[in-house]
């Protein structure tokens, strides 16, 4: 799996810019694109990929495309049809990685549904067996939920995609995933350094003095330092941008690496605060964020 992915979740305006953003990203060297049914941009992502292939920038085989099963298709029998719909929108025959977006099953109206995520996982295994997804994984699962899947199911999750950034270092969960060889993808890599619906004023900001000092040492900016921090911790960050300059900046991080001391400095910003807390489902039987 390429260790940096373009994130594509965004506003309505972002969706309209996503075809171009994906093309710029591939042009800049990204080989991994992260989308989801939830983001309503699979069509634009697929068009950006098709443009890049048509222009001869890459072949399909050189790309790694990740998409996700939304929470209202958790019944085993619903997984393959949901993936087939995603593939139709993407204009692809297969995805490289298909993730269960969260362990929380809901009905179409968003209210809780009583479907065990291990049943959903059987559907994911079916999709892999059919060749519709080369690999399968999970997102927003805690360590107990992953342990249960590993114990009960046939195919181990390849990935757990979770929020990791300076104010949410997730050290226990990242360590657990490493111990069972489940790769971690880090979403919302900039955490509260960028403006969010929910506000948190904890440091760092992009002009943070400690990050700036590290950035100056390497001739980089602080956003690049944060992405490198996530890579040097062995995770795959997924920065989202629809801005050409920032798309280019965000991949220009492979000519340096941080020292253990610098990684420790950034880890100190941890406050265990989440950009995405799924709080509307906090009473759901499988709400994942009560435990590491
Ligand atoms: N599995 C899940 O449940 C889950 C949840 C959330 C996110 N994700 C995935 O992870 C991706 C990233 O997460 P995210 O979108 O929440 O947050 P993010 O990538 O941490 O932040 C995106 C924001 O940062 C800005 N930005 C990008 N590069 C920048 C730079 N170099 N300097 C300053 N600002 C910069 C972007 O604006 P511009 O576009 O204007 O550059 C955008 O406003 C998503 O797009 C999605 O693919 C997955």
CATH of the domain at 252: 3.20.20.100
CA torsion, ordered 56, 245, 225, 36, to nearest 10 deg: -60
Q: Show the tokens assigned to 32.
A: 């991994």
The alpha carbon dihedral of 54, 99, 165, 17 has a sign of positive
101 annotated among ligand-binding-site residues: yes
Ligand 1: nearest atom to the Cα of 189:
20
Residue 149 falls inside a structural domain: yes
pLDDT at 42: 98
Pocket test for ligand 1, best of 39, 64, 95, 241 (most atoms within 8 A of CB): 241
Q: Tell me which residue range forms the domain holding 246.
A: 6-286
From the CA of 228, how far away is ligand 1's center (Å)?
A: 15
Give nearest CA residue, ligand 1 atom 47.
7
Residue 155 falls inside a structural domain: yes
Residue 291 falls inside a structural domain: no
Ligand 1: nearest atom to the Cα of 35:
47
Residue 174 falls inside a structural domain: yes
Instruction: Check 23, 30, 39, 98 and give the catalytic one.
Output: 39
User: CB within 8 A of 244, min separation 6: which ones?
Assistant: 24
Residue 205 falls inside a structural domain: yes
How many distinct structural domains can be found in the chain? 1
Enumerate residue ranges in the chain where pLDDT < 70.
none
Residue 68 falls inside a structural domain: yes
**CA–CA distance, 124 with 138 (Å, rounded to integer):** 10
Given the structure tokens 């990685």, which residue do they identify? 97
Residue 243 falls inside a structural domain: yes
39 is catalytic: yes
Ligand 1: nearest atom to the Cα of 239:
19
Residue 134 falls inside a structural domain: yes
Inter-CA distances, 83 with 56, 76, 255, Å: 27, 12, 37
Ligand 1 pocket, residues with Cβ under 6 angstroms = 7-9, 34, 101, 139-140, 161, 187-190, 194, 223, 238-243, 246, 249-250, 276
């Amino acid at each position: 799996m390429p260790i940096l992915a373009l994130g594509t979740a965004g506003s309505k305006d972002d969706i309209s810019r996503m075809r171009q953003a994906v093309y710029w990203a591939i042009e800049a060297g990204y080989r991994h694109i992260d989308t989801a049914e939830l983001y309503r941009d699979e069509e634009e992502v697929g068009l950006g990929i098709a443009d890049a292939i048509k222009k001869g920038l890459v072949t399909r085989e050189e790309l790694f495309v990740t998409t996700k099963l939304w929470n209202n298709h958790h019944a085993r029998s619903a997984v393959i049809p949901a993936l087939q719909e995603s593939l139709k929108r993407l204009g692809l025959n297969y995805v490289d990685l298909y993730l269960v977006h969260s362990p929380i099953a809901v009905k179409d109206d968003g209210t809780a549904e009583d479907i065990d995520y291990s049943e959903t996982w059987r559907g994911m295994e079916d999709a892999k067996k059919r060749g519709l997804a080369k690999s399968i994984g999970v997102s927003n699962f805690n360590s107990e939920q992953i342990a249960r899947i590993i114990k009960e199911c046939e195919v181990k999750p390849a990935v757990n995609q979770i929020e990791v950034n300076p104010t949410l270092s997730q050290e226990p969960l990242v360590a657990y995933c490493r111990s069972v060889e489940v790769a971690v993808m880090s979403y919302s890599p900039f955490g509260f350094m960028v403006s969010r619906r929910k506000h948190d004023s904890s440091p760092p900001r992009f002009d943070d003095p400690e990050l700036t000092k590290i950035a100056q040492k390497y001739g980089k900016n602080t956003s690049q330092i944060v992405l490198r921090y996530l890579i040097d911790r062995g995770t795959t960050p997924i920065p989202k941008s629809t801005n050409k300059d920032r798309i280019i900046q965000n991949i220009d991080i492979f000519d340096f690496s941080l020292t253990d001391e610098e990684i420790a400095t950034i880890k100190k910003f941890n406050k265990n605060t989440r950009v995405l807390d799924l709080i509307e489902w906090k009473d759901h039987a499988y709400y994942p964020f009560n435990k590491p």
